[in-house]
Structure 1
Amino acid sequence: MALTEEQQRCRDIILSQDYGDFVVSYGGDIEVMAEIYNPSCYEKIDNNFVVIQRTLPESGQLNPDEYSYNLIPDLLGLLDTTSMEQSGILPVHYSPASGFRGSGIIVGVIDTGIDYTHPAFRFSDGNTRILSIWDQTIQTDQVPERFPFGTVYTRDDINAALQAEEPLDVVPSRDENGHGTFIAGIMAGTEDQANGFIGAAPEASIVAVKLKPAKQYLRDYYVIKEDAIAFQETDIMMAIEFLRSQSVRYQMPLVVCLGLGNTLDSHEGSSTLSQYLNVVNNITGICVVAAAGNELGKAHHYAGVVEGRDEFDTVELRVGEGEQGFQMEIWGSLSDVFSVEIISPEGERIARSQSRIGDSQRVNLFLEGTEIYLANRSAGLSGGQFLMVLQFRSPTPGIWTLRVYGDRILRGRFDIWLPMEKFIQDSTYFLNPDPDITLTSVATTNSIVVTSNYNHYNDRLYVNSSRGYTSSGVIKPDIAAPGVNVYGPEPGGRYGVRSGSSISAAHGAGAAALLMEWGLLRAIITNMDGNDIRRLLIQGAVQKGVDTYPNPGWGYGAMNLKNTFETLRIVR
């Protein structure tokens, strides 16, 4: 069906680099939202959030002073079979009392795409197990019902491609990176005895979304590395809504795996995406599983204390050679107000900043060629905390000193986060970092399942597995799952080995699909949602010898689905 004139107009705007995308919490009244923001186009997510497009300045650069913090979409990056045995998944596959393998459940992957030709996503007769692919990067008239861009390929389209001599001539959707293919395979790959592989939910149906790359104005705003893979929060929210629509269409429960993240925001689970995920995860028949992150040891988090008014804490930041820039954020209690003095490696000083909300300044260090933007921002949905945003462009390599002053102090605690790995140089980091609260922002979402990453060969946490808790003290991660040297499918029909917390999330999502099959399809828990899944996985978690549980690394312990079912007296 051809696009309407309005759909075509909005698709052109959504894809154009001349328009910015923004997330608005609108309270359900679209007309009031339209009067306030006057968008060029908009896409309703649910009754709480809408994505809007507005014209950017001729420079193509976003003026941050015009928008509150939460209106500007976050950028998320990638978070790169004995593992099934250690997770207690294989016994659940083969137990006579259960035999759960994910049948009747949709697993959704939102990532770099999927190699639909891989045997891991096909039945024994060669037909596909994929219900649909929404490729946001290919533009045709086969768009989703609610979002006028990208192309939806149905199961029939994919089967027709698989029967063709050149499948990609029929369905040209590819996974050039392989991350999405691997995650989908760990979640739900078909058993391949010849190659010694099986996914966690090998009979589940699959829906995949290939995200389009983030727009340049957001890459420029966050000053991320030119070669970094980055996706927009807005596109991820629309992707989840597409998965929900497929769940409704096929009348099947849905498990969503998010192997993406970033490290900015308050880390108390109050970001726009976190608020949205909490709503989705509370819907009967839906569970969201996210990766904790790979930030431990990256020295991207600093925790400090200022004892009183006009006292200060000294923060030292090493900036590596070739660093093009970065955004960092200072967060504190709403009862506290901080200001910052900055000293460059060459000794140039930026005087103590103003501390009123809405104040901003842009300073050029002409001798060094560095530009710094400082702003006390309105945090929007994160309005329960103090926020200062600092953006460095072309920073001089060396040691930068920040003096964080107390202007009004009741608690005095503050946290600073740098961008995630791959968004900045490895050689840019704090000299005295704090290892805790290194979760990605998504992983601080209260209600969803969050997995950290451990090595199932030696029962030790992965060296870079992010640590909790949230900044407000909520216990995250919930559990740990295998994510080191895990064997899974790669594009081109191959299998390979990868490590990363997204792989642990894929194990968790596959386990969630088996629990959905037990709880909903066998009418054990007729209103099962993601909170129920999280509780059951926590109940079955196994302690690995650490002194105290829960703890910031393991959460409540290592995931063991067999143990979960044993606590329910299902596996005998």
Structure 2
Amino acid sequence: MPPSEEQLRCRDIILSQDYADFIVAYGGNVDVTVGVYEPSCYEIVNSNFLIMHKPLPANRVTVYENYPYSIIPELLGNLDSTSMEQSGILPTHYAPAGGFRGNGVMVGLIDSGIDYTHPVFRFQNGGTRILALWDQTIQTDEIMERFPYGTEYTRDVINQALASDDPYSSVPSTDEDGHGTFLAGIMAGSEDVSEDFIGAAPEASIVAVKLKPAKEYLRDYYIIKEGAAAYQETDIFMAVEYVLQKALEYQMPAVICLGLGNTLNSHEGTSNLSQYLNAVNNVTGVCVVVAGGNELGKAHHYSGFIPSRDDSQTVELKVGASERGFQMELWGGSSDVFSVEIVSPEGERIARSQSRLGQSQRVKLLFEDTEIYIADRSAGLPGGNFLSVIQFRNPTPGIWTIRVFGDRILNGRFNIWLPMEKFIEETTYFLSPDPNITLTSAATTSSTVVTANYSHYNDSLYVTSSRGYTASGFVKPDVAAPGVNVFGPVPGGRYERRTGSSISAAHAAGAAALLFEWGLLNVIILNMDGNDIRRLLIQGAVQKQNEEYPNQGWGYGAMNLKNTFESLRVLR
């Protein structure tokens, strides 16, 4: 059936650079929410969230000033990539009782795409192991009812393309970055004896989503570093829903791997994305695995304490010469209110003003080209916390001084986060940073499996592996998995070595697929969900004798699936 005029209109609005996107927790009453916001078009994610689109104002920088912080889509970036043996996965492939290789389980890739022509995603007869591929970047008249943009390529269509002399003429989806192809290979790549490669769940089925790039107005709003890959939270919501729909369609348990992140938000697992992922992970037959991040040593987190009202603390921020701008966020508890005074490297001062709910100011420095926006965005936050958003545009290079004051103090603790390392210049950082609570915001989601990144060559945490816990003290990460100099597939039928926390998440996602095959498909654990997977991986984690567990680097230890199965045998 050809798409309706309304479907085509909504597709064009979703893709248009002239429309702003919103994500709203609507509490089940669509009509009331739509009546309040009056969007030009909207999609229902589930019973809790709506994605809406409205025309952009003439001044795109101010698009969200009159809206709550919580409805602004976050931008997420890639968290770059013998490891199967070290993580205890390979022995489970060849267990005496037949082993587990992911047969009957679906793995969901949400990333930069997948090279569907690579041999590791094909059966020996040449057919594809990909059940479906949704490319959000390719627009055709073949519009899905629930997902009104991009194009879906089914298994049959991909097989027809692979059988032709020119596959890309009929299925033009590619992975220019290679990040998604690598993660999919680590999760579920077929065995390639000639290259001595095998994925964690080599018989699992694959559903892949290639995310569309973030809109330019959002990149400008967050002042994202030029050339950095960035994806919208709204598209990630819809991508997860797509994988869940395919899991229902094929009646398979599904593991969803999210090797993306950012460091803004509360780090308490209260963001819209965290709440959504928690709900998804609690569904029988679904597990969500999230990468912890690569933020240790980047000096992007500052923690402070103000003992009483009108006391203050001085924060020094080094801004590099090539920095075009950034957003940073000051978070405090629900009982506290903070305000700031800012002094530029040249001595220009933005005087302290008492923080008021919803109050904002935009200041252009008199003798410098810098513009600074400061706003209290505490209203409507899910966790009830205090939030001050501070944006710098064209900041003068050098040492900036930010003096944080207590306007109302009961707890007094505050945290400031800069964007993730790929969104900001490496020469911009705090001079006295706190290395803890540097997980990406999605990695502070309580029920999901969150991985730290360690080297399976020397059994040590990678130098940039983000540290926990969450800002509220909940233990994250859960386990560490290999993610250093790992061998895997890249576009063009090739292989190479990559490093990154996303790769550790791919290892854990593959292990989760094997646990679903063992526990759910064999009816050993009824109603098995992501919480059960998380518990089992923690149960089998290997701990060093000279470390206390849990800890902020390793979580509960190094993931070892063989150890998990051995512990189950002892318990039984």
Normalising by structure 1, report the TM-score: 0.99
1:98 and 1:349 mapped to 2: Cα distance?
A: 70
Matched residue, 1:547: 547
Whether contact under 8 Å (1:164, 1:170) holds in the other structure is: no
Whether contact under 8 Å (1:144, 1:242) holds in the other structure is: no
1:421 and 1:143 mapped to 2: Cα distance?
A: 36
Matched residue, 2:147: 147
2:524 is paired with a residue of what secondary structure?
A: coil
Matched residue, 1:489: 489
Alignment of 1:32-111 (within 5 A): 32-80=32-80, 82-111=82-111
Whether contact under 8 Å (1:335, 1:411) holds in the other structure is: yes
Matched residue, 2:566: 566
1:302 is paired with a residue of what secondary structure?
A: strand
1:299 and 1:409 mapped to 2: Cα distance?
A: 26
Whether contact under 8 Å (1:113, 1:135) holds in the other structure is: yes
Matched residue, 1:501: 501
The more displaced of 436-445 and 219-228 is 219-228
Whether 2:333 is the aligned partner of 1:318: answer no
Matched residue, 1:470: 470
The more displaced of 367-376 and 91-100 is 91-100
The more displaced of 370-379 and 481-490 is 370-379
Whether 2:4 is the aligned partner of 1:4: answer yes
1:379 and 1:107 mapped to 2: Cα distance?
A: 38
1:569 is paired with a residue of what secondary structure?
A: helix
Matched residue, 1:391: 391
1:35 is paired with a residue of what secondary structure?
A: helix
Matched residue, 2:186: 186
1:383 Cα offset (Å): 3.7
Letter in 2 for 1:42: Y
1:273 and 1:535 mapped to 2: Cα distance?
A: 22
Alignment of 1:114-153 (within 5 A): 114-153=114-153
2:206 and 2:468 mapped to 1: Cα distance?
A: 31
Alignment of 1:136-285 (within 5 A): 136-285=136-285
Letter in 2 for 1:514: L
Residues 541 and 98 (structure 1), Cα distance of their counterparts in 2 relative to 1, 3 Å cut? farther
Matched residue, 2:303: 303
1:332 Cα offset (Å): 0.6
Letter in 2 for 1:300: H
Letter in 1 for 2:117: T
Whether contact under 8 Å (1:331, 1:415) holds in the other structure is: yes
1:544 Cα offset (Å): 2.7
Matched residue, 1:519: 519
Matched residue, 1:433: 433
1:66 Cα offset (Å): 1.0
1:204 and 1:12 mapped to 2: Cα distance?
A: 35
1:295 Cα offset (Å): 0.2
Give structure 1 regions of 4+ aligned residues with deviation exceeding 6 angstroms.
Answer: none
2:520 is paired with a residue of what secondary structure?
A: helix
1:33 Cα offset (Å): 1.0
Q: Deviations over 1:25-76 (max 9, x none)?
A: 0011111111111111101000000100011112343433211011100000
2:296 is paired with a residue of what secondary structure?
A: coil
Whether contact under 8 Å (1:482, 1:503) holds in the other structure is: yes
Q: Deviations over 1:400-456 (max 9, x none)?
A: 000000111111110000000110100000000000000000000000000000000
2:8 and 2:444 mapped to 1: Cα distance?
A: 37
1:143 Cα offset (Å): 2.9
Matched residue, 1:291: 291
1:217 is paired with a residue of what secondary structure?
A: helix
Letter in 1 for 2:266: S
Whether contact under 8 Å (2:113, 2:135) holds in the other structure is: yes
Unaligned segments of structure 1, at least 5 residues: none
Alignment of 1:374-453 (within 5 A): 374-378=374-378, 380-453=380-453
1:160 and 1:436 mapped to 2: Cα distance?
A: 50
Unaligned segments of structure 2, at least 5 residues: none
1:570 Cα offset (Å): 8.4
**Number of residues of Structure 1 aligned to a counterpart in Structure 2:** 571
2:404 is paired with a residue of what secondary structure?
A: strand
1:321 and 1:206 mapped to 2: Cα distance?
A: 44
Letter in 2 for 1:345: P
1:479 Cα offset (Å): 0.2
Q: Percent identity?
A: 71
What is the RMSD computed on CA atoms of the aligned residues? 1.2
Whether contact under 8 Å (1:469, 1:552) holds in the other structure is: yes
2:175 and 2:379 mapped to 1: Cα distance?
A: 36
1:282 Cα offset (Å): 0.3
1:246 and 1:545 mapped to 2: Cα distance?
A: 44
Letter in 1 for 2:556: Y
2:527 and 2:518 mapped to 1: Cα distance?
A: 12
